[in-house]
Amino acid sequence: MERAVSRAWRATRQLVVGFGLSCACLFLVALFLIALAATALVVGAGMLPETVLTVRRFAGFERRRVGAWTGVEVPEAYTALTGTVVERLRGAAEDPGTLRDLRWVGAQVVYGIVLFCVAVVVWVPAIVVDGLWCGVLGRTPVVLPLLTRIADLASAWSRALLTPSPQALLARRVEQLTETRAGAVAAHGAELRRIERDLHDGTQARLVSLSMRIGLAKRAYDTDPATGRALLDAAQTQAEEALTELRHVVRGIHPPVLTDRGLEGAVRALAASSGLDVEVSVDGTDDGTRAPAAVEAAAYFAVAEALTNAARHSGAERASVTLTRTPRLVRVRVHDEGRGGAEEPLTGTDPEQPRGTGLIGIRRRVAALDGTVRVTSPAGGPTDIEVELPCAW
């Protein structure tokens, strides 16, 4: 009985919010008519795009509300309203989402109020019938579940009215892929320039100096063996330094530890070398199959950036890394108990640093693989960075 009452109250709250939204939609209808009249008089042409944006916000609220109730997200697809007043007007008028949202506004006014009234009426027999049927006889409620069904009906209608057409979703998907592809191309070009700069300014310069020292040692060896030996010792030291720099460049491209030990082993190596006390845990069964190299590299660099930023900026002493493997994706979660505030890139967004020195680098690398990054970092902490990378095992 308690469970049924709890569900009924939750459904009633859902319907009450829907009733309030219906009242707000009445205001939106009046606002839209005023905007149309102002646009027809030309003097208020800029009012219509702003009204459309307001309608989008209300529709977005309803999408989130339906998604929270049903557990299934309602997608959205809109044309951006930017540019001059004429361009914004054209965008608002030509966007199929505008008509879709207006249909929902009109329908919400009707079914939001009607279903709320039905729920109020249902509560009366529910109290009498289920109070006796369940409270006295101990039977299963028969009227209270109707409230949940009414809330489900309202959510189903909102979903049907607000879900974009397949063509609109496809167009939105193409836009997203175009953006991520442009970001991936820019990041790739910047990465190549970084590698070239590291090789030119570091390793190449040391090798040139090494060649000169060996040449001097050859000239001095016959006349002054001690000087020649000293020059050869210095040349050997310089060769070792050049090898160290070369290894650093290679690790920036694809860490050898990732190839040798896999993602889990590489992350544990990162945790061991971090300035924090890092706990690594792994969820999901491992049948020995490894993710594609690009996915492993993106996950590895995301952990590396997150731990580096946590050590430098969070003030935390401990952190945790969780690797989760599912049939369709690899999920990485980095948590620290620091001061938070990591919503913005922590050390800049220089396009010449594609791996980034903050969240922008993680987002670029993950977006190139059609992954997602979620950051929760309120002021005062804690900070959670969760990366999901699609992967077919």
pLDDT digits (tens, 9 = 90+) for 104-152: 999 999 999 999 999 888 887 777 776 665 666 556 676 778 888 999 9
Percent of the chain with pLDDT over 70: 83
In the predicted structure, residue 23 carries a pLDDT above the cut 60: yes
In the predicted structure, residue 349 carries a pLDDT above the cut 50: no
Mean pLDDT of 258-269: 84
Mean pLDDT of 209-233: 79
* 304-326 exposure pattern, b = at least 16 Cβ within 10 A, e = fewer: bbbbbbbbebbebeebbbbbebe
Mean pLDDT of 29-54: 86
Rounded Cα gap, residues 346 and 275, in angstroms = 18
Sheet hosting strand 329-336, strand order edge to edge: 277-283, 318-325, 329-336, 383-390, 372-376
Angle 344-350-351 from CA coordinates, rounded to 5°? 115
Amino acid identity for residue 286 in this structure: D
Amino acid identity for residue 256 in this structure: P
Rounded Cα gap, residues 11 and 378, in angstroms = 31
pLDDT-wise least confident of 30-39, 146-155, 350-359:
350-359
Angle 49-39-76 from CA coordinates, rounded to 5°? 25
353: DSSP letter:
-
Q: What DSSP string describes 74-127?
A: PP-------SSHHHHHHHHHH-HHHHHHHHHHHHHHHHHHHHHHHHHHHHHHII
Q: What DSSP string describes 235-274?
A: HHHHHHHHHHHHHHHHHHHS-HHHHHHHHHHHHHHHHHHS
In the predicted structure, residue 20 carries a pLDDT above the cut 90: yes
What tokens were used for 293? 């190299």
Element (H, E) at 142: none
pTM above 0.75, yes or no: no
Distance, C-alpha 393 to centroid of its chain: 22
Q: Which pLDDT belongs to residue 375? A: 87
Average pLDDT, the chain: 80
